[in-house]
Structure 1
């Protein structure tokens, strides 16, 4: 699955929230936190922003929004774990019979 990232101006345009409102909502667990993409660059996965917007369309309350954001955070962590190299694999072949 290809993930598209949205920088802050695009998130602000999509949501109608100000910069401070986005970060305040993220701090309160009502909006996903951005993903660091570099030393001074961060962005939001588009599907996470869309999930929150869909919840707003359903008139979800804060409790439901926190559950959605929590689930998105868990999914992110699972992707990170799945992409880590295994520590059980030895990348170098063993020298046998020297």
Structure 2
């Protein structure tokens, strides 16, 4: 998948769900469980997430799956 966002890019919820490829309910449950980062509040009804933090979550999931703890791909 091509990385069209920089690490400091702020993403709204629909973009976050596309990046993580999960549903809204699963995402908010993951926030409660500490799996996904908490939102950055930009206003009363506006929340955003840093793309770099979401990439870190994906890297961590890959590392846990492969047995690596450094967040790098280890075949």
Q: Same fold (TM over 0.5)?
A: yes
| 1:7 to 2:12 alignment | yes
Deviations, residues 34-66 of structure 1 (Å, cap 9, x unaligned): 110111100101111010011112235xxx8xx
| 1:25 to 2:30 alignment | yes
* Counterpart-to-counterpart distance in 1, 2:19 and 2:62: 13
Structure 1 residue ranges without an equivalent (≥5): 65-98
The residue aligned with 2:45 is 40
Deviations, residues 5-37 of structure 1 (Å, cap 9, x unaligned): 111111101111101111100001111011101
TM-score, normalised by the number of residues in structure 1: 0.56
1:54 partner SS? helix
* Higher-helix-fraction structure: 1
* Counterpart-to-counterpart distance in 2, 1:42 and 1:3: 15
Runs of 4+ aligned residues of structure 1 deviating over 2 Å after TM superposition are none
TM-score, normalised by the number of residues in structure 2: 0.71
Aligned length, in residue pairs: 60
* Counterpart-to-counterpart distance in 2, 1:4 and 1:33: 15
Could you say what the CA RMSD is over the residues aligned between the two structures, in angstroms? 1.8
| 1:50 to 2:58 alignment | no
